[in-house]
Structure 1
């Protein structure tokens, strides 16, 4: 990934090593602490004038013990339709999921990709639902959309607003 060292923790601390190394070490320490983890990856975006800001999150849930996340932000001035933006969000999440899935498989950690797309056809984001679902599931990942896509709709959403 080109933006391998631009990840940070929720408190703002930038990761000093590649995300792959950070996650591998974290999975080892979580395993030693006896924690069962689940990973949810999602992206949200916000248009602010001529700039669109994206936030991708890797959310780690400790079963019954809360969670934590890593965050990556990206901005572009490229003008996009709502459908293009939704599919860009999904593409960013898939890029991250694909680059990390070998680690999660090795540690037997379940992973989901969350899309900030409404399943209700009355919402404009619904235009991208079929493509997003096909893209995510076609890559072999578990797909979640609203209202079950909290990584994108709640976690990443807080970062870009």
Structure 2
């Protein structure tokens, strides 16, 4: 059973350091055009991270497009939500956002006959308090037909998204 895609209103604006501010439709279109016009292989990764604030939780969700041998680009969206006191709630919320956005992007690309694998990066690892969530989140990814990485290989979440939650 798959995760229902995230509300389209939630991730309505993204920022790309190389392009600037874009709405989600423009991000998806940019990805479609890049993948279609790239001679080599491309890789798409979706990751998320969060940080607790005094009264809220700061989230960043990132779509990374890598053109192997030709560089890449990323798009990120940041937002604030309620304060998640539980680490488990916060980590699972990050994962649900990543799965939902990745599902939405995959659907968009498949409607245009582009079947490119999209993987997920989860900000969890074998060391530290998040290790107890590994099996659950990898199962979540697998049940939604995504490959997933955890730290130290989950750079989209642990490096890129992490930069924008500060």
Which TM bucket (shorter chain)? 0.7 to 0.9
Matched, 1:31 2:36: yes
Q: CA deviation at 1:48?
A: 2.1
Q: 1:114 and 1:146 mapped to 2: Cα distance?
A: 8
CA distance in 2: counterparts of 1:29 and 1:76, whole angstroms? 32
Instruction: Give the structure-1-normalised TM-score.
Output: 0.87
Superposition pairs of residues 29-68 of structure 1, within 5 angstroms: 29-68=34-73
Superposition pairs of residues 1-161 of structure 1, within 5 angstroms: 1-10=8-17, 13-15=20-22, 17=23, 19-105=24-110, 106-120=113-127, 123-161=128-166
Number of residue pairs matched by the alignment: 157
Gaps of 5+ in 1: none
Structure-2 separation of matches of 1:111 and 1:66: 17
Q: Deviations over 1:3-44 (max 9, x none)?
A: 2422221358321x4x24432344224432535310000000
Structure 1 pair 55–94 and aligned structure 2 pair: CA distance change class (3 A): same
Inter-CA distance 12–146: structure 2 relative to 1 (3 Å threshold): same
State TM-score, norm by structure 2.
0.84
| Structure 2: runs of 5 or more not aligned | 1-7
Distance 1:91 1:36 in 2: 27
Following TM superposition, by how much is the alpha carbon of 1:87 offset from its aligned partner in structure 2, in angstroms? 0.5
Shift of 1:109: 1.9
Question: Distance between the aligned counterparts of 1:153 and 1:40, measured in 2?
Answer: 12
Root-mean-square deviation (CA), in Å?
Answer: 1.9
CA contact (8 A) 1:42 1:115 kept: yes
Pick which of 148-157 and 4-13 moved more: 4-13
Q: 1:76 to 1:29 in 2, by over 3 A?
A: closer
